Amino acid sequence: MEWLIWAGALLSVVGLIGLVLSIVKVTKARRSGLSDEDLRAAVQKVMPLNMGALFVSVMGLMIVIVGISLG
């Protein structure tokens, strides 16, 4: 079941990259000096990426745990 551990780790890394990307996008929006409404709209636009990346990362960690348990 070693392949399951590596697949889960890869999935977790992909999710982590997505989380970092969403952090970078929100930080750029905050530094650009947008108004409160525009900043809120920018954050709401990034929210699906953030939630999707978090989901992918959690799923990857679950797959790693299953691989360790079965191995």
Tokens read off for 7: 């697949």
**49 pLDDT more than 90:** yes
Output the pLDDT for position 30.
Answer: 94
Q: How many domains does the chain have?
A: 1
Output the pLDDT for position 1.
Answer: 84
Structural domain of 50:
2-70
Output the pLDDT for position 70.
Answer: 94
Is 0.85 surpassed by the pTM of this model? yes
Between the CA of residue 57 and those of 7, 23, 34, what are the distances in Å?
Answer: 12, 15, 30
Q: How far apart are CA 22 and CA 26, in angstroms?
A: 6
